[in-house]
């Protein structure tokens, strides 16, 4: 079924919307979650929570042209949150590791009180990503959106792990410089 039709089912409050969503995207969503939580049962829980969240926020959201990305965003957020809450999950260490790496992108990480507008921030990040060449962008997104390991990225892109680490390191630095130029004091 077309994404647009599925979104219409949500708008009509037709519960088959969830069934159609699971049919079309369930496997991919579980995969995204499982990579984060590292546990298939937990990933399935996150998947179910994702459908519930989608049911609650469509409408007003209307992701007719980007339904998968919309759902993937939700399951990513739920899965990360799940990792934090279930510290027993082995993958919670990964979240700490990635958080530490992302902190390198922040001009003033010690400022705990500052909060920024999500939409404006996302626009800035998107401008930055748009300035990268495609391969660097995909590597960066694979690491910090999909939370892939360096080894996985290395294999997927047929490049050395050293190169992946170098690309990530330099891109993080560039992002920090970019945010500074954008006037962010996070």
Partner 1 sequence: MRGNEFLEKFGLIAPEYIEEAEAKPKSRKKPWIKWLAAAAAVCFIAGLAFSMDFYFHDGTPHSSDPAEGPSDLLMNGIHYYISPYLSVSDELPEGFVHAGETAVGGFENCPYYINPGIPEWVYVYHEVRTNGKIDSSGTLIPTEPHNAYVRYVDERLRGKGIVCFDGNYYISMWSASLYDYPDVSLEYYEKIESDYGIRIEGEVPEGFEYVGTTEFSGYDTVPRKKLSSNEGKFEVYANPAEPEVILVSTFWHTHTAEEKTETRHDGFNIYIKYDCPFA
Matching residue, tokens 């290395």: 154
- Site membership for partner 1, residue 35 (CB under 8 A): yes
Return the number of the residue (57 or 151) whose C-beta is nearest partner 1: 151
Q: Is 44 helix (H, G, I), strand (E, B) or coil?
A: helix
Chain centroid to CA 24: 19
Q: Between the CA of residue 3 and those of 49, 65, 74, 164, 182, what are the distances in Å?
A: 20, 7, 16, 34, 35
Binding partner 1 (rule: CB under 8 A), the pick from 6, 17, 58, 80 is 80
| Environment class of 121 (CB within 10 Å of its CB; exposed 0-12, middle 13-18, buried 19+) | middle
Rounded to the nearest whole angstrom, what is the least distance from the CB of residue 180 to partner 1 in the complex?
14
- Site membership for partner 1, residue 88 (CB under 8 A): no
Binding partner 1 (rule: CB under 8 A), the pick from 8, 44, 45, 98 is 98
Residue closest to 58 by CA, chosen among 120, 113, 5, 127:
5
Matching residue, tokens 């990792």: 83
- Site membership for partner 1, residue 131 (CB under 8 A): no
List interacting residues with partner 1 (CB under 8 A): 28, 35, 38, 63, 65-66, 68-70, 72-73, 76-77, 80, 84, 90-91, 94-96, 98-106, 109, 111-112, 114-116, 118, 121-122, 125-126, 129, 134-135, 137-138, 141-142, 144-146, 149-152, 154-163, 165-166, 169, 186
């Amino acid at each position: 079924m077309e994404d647009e039709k599925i979104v219409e089912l949500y708008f009509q409050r037709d519960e088959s919307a969830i069934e159609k969503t699971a049919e079309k995207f369930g496997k991919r969503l579980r995969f995204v979650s499982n990579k984060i939580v590292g546990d298939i049962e937990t990933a399935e829980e996150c998947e179910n929570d994702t459908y519930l969240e989608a049911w609650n926020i469509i409408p007003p959201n209307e992701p007719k042209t980007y339904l998968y990305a919309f759902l993937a965003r939700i399951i990513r957020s739920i899965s990360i949150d799940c990792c934090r809450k279930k510290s027993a999950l082995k993958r919670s260490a990964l979240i700490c590791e990635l958080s530490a790496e992302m902190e390198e992108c922040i001009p003033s990480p010690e400022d705990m009180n500052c909060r920024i507008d999500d939409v404006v921030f996302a626009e800035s990040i998107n401008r930055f990503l748009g300035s990268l060449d495609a391969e660097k962008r995909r590597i960066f997104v694979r690491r910090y959106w999909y939370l892939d390991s360096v080894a996985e990225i290395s294999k997927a892109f047929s490049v050395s792990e050293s190169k992946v680490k170098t690309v990530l390191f330099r891109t993080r630095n560039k992002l920090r410089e970019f945010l500074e130029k954008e006037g962010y004091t996070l």
